[in-house]
Amino acid sequence: MGISQELYKKAKKIIPGGTQLFSKRPEMFLPDLWPAYYSKAKGCEVWDLDNKKYIDMSYMGIGSCILGYSDDDVNLAVDGAVTNGNMCTLNAPEEVELAELLCELHPWAEMVRYARCGGEAMSIAVRIARAATGKDIILFCGYHGWHDWYLSANLADDQALDGHLLQGLFSKGVPRGLLGTAKPFIYNNTEQFLDLINKNKGKIAAVVVETIRNYEPKPGFLETIRKVTDELKIVMICDEVSSGWRLNVGGAHLKYGISPDIAVFAKGISNGFPMAAIIGKSDVMQAAQETFISSTYWTDRIGPTAAIAAIKKMKANDVPRYLSIVGSKIKKGWSDLANKYHLKISVSGIDPLGHFSFNYDNHLYLKTLFTQLMLEKGFLATNAFYASFSHTEQCVDSYLMAVDESLAFISESLKNDSVVSDLKGLVCHAGFKRLE
């Protein structure tokens, strides 16, 4: 066991849950063996505390680093913000420049507010929608963060959120008074959405959707939501925290011809520096003035500076096109190599955010074994790949060679019934659970 793994053991004793982001828990990848901490990250290369180098072919900062880690151009802009003062009693002028840039990219939007994280930005969007409509209920599909408005969906049924990215989310600590204020429907299930609309008529503040996550929207799904919300004066919110900047420069809703009332960006907007933006139509956004939404660190200069630099670079290089090319090559690689070794897998996700699952009862063991084998070959890898501008053809090719060898091993392991004994540690976790 190396320094990184030892440090994580210590962390679990002093930090409840070990990490600040559930998706960074080593237990989600390879319990006890995942390198857990980094000393340096550049492009798609990562060094752990033992100075071992890996190529990150997994989540790239959980989707936050579209240009690659520590991008030189974004860093240069951020250096300027640091040198000239990241914080001041006066405001950062970059806030206005970024607002203009975002409204230019999204011509339906007229006003912009900022935060620094995806979940809090979604909370702001929901607060604005409730303030603008005077209604309480939120209909939603997808994952939208850790805040009370969202987790309250699990007060009614502790599995209500299971189909929306993360399984098993606990809602302890969320006031029971919020019961019935957030109601989920399944993406692409227009009938279920319409049923919820009918059952809650007159009480709905907003409909919140992740514009796209695993599947293309079925024809008519997003359009029906837009039409119904328009007719009933309900705020339509597109959560672009994960989908934004990957299919086009801006929100994915642009690609599907949808103009929501509010769209929310975080993560990918600023290539790893904390930043989030809530953009919207002015009649809805002005409701932000009739409630209290305010925080000191939403005013720092690094956030908007990094976002402006990242957006300009994504636009100048047509980065979304590159992400789709790289991502589709990886998805095809998974399918072809699984066929080569007669392994049953399902590949899904949009090209820039692809993933696969093993279609076997012991799929979690197979996923863990895959990560173990890939780590031994120098890759941070799981059953997903988030494409970045730093993933060169060469690293894609070397990754697919390693996948080839790993799937060959897994196929033999299945034949020999030795999957469990081939694992050097425990099986990975499937969803949210308490750490011991």
Ligand X SMILES: Cc1ncc(COP(=O)(O)O)c(C=O)c1O
Q: Which residues bind ligand X (CB under 6 A)?
A: 117-119, 122, 142-145, 210, 239, 241-242, 266-267
- Cβ-based nearer residue to ligand X, 117 or 293: 117
- Cβ-based nearer residue to ligand X, 214 or 328: 214
Task: Please list, residue by residue across 124-157, b when 16 or more beta carbons sit within 10 angstroms of its beta carbon and e when fewer do.
Answer: bbbbbbbbbbebbbbbbbbbbbbbbbbbbbbbbe
| 157 φ, ψ (degrees, to nearest 5) | -155, 115
- Cβ-based nearer residue to ligand X, 106 or 329: 106
Min dist. Cβ of residue 120 to ligand X (A): 7
Min dist. Cβ of residue 90 to ligand X (A): 27
Min dist. Cβ of residue 164 to ligand X (A): 10
- Cβ-based nearer residue to ligand X, 5 or 248: 248
- Cβ-based nearer residue to ligand X, 122 or 126: 122
Min dist. Cβ of residue 357 to ligand X (A): 19
Question: Is 68:410 a contact under the CB 8 Å cutoff?
Answer: no
- Cβ-based nearer residue to ligand X, 242 or 406: 242
Q: Indicate the residue whose CB is closest to ligand X.
A: 118
Min dist. Cβ of residue 202 to ligand X (A): 28
Min dist. Cβ of residue 147 to ligand X (A): 9
Min dist. Cβ of residue 126 to ligand X (A): 12
- Cβ-based nearer residue to ligand X, 276 or 369: 276
- Cβ-based nearer residue to ligand X, 35 or 63: 63
Min dist. Cβ of residue 54 to ligand X (A): 22
Min dist. Cβ of residue 373 to ligand X (A): 27
- Cβ-based nearer residue to ligand X, 242 or 383: 242
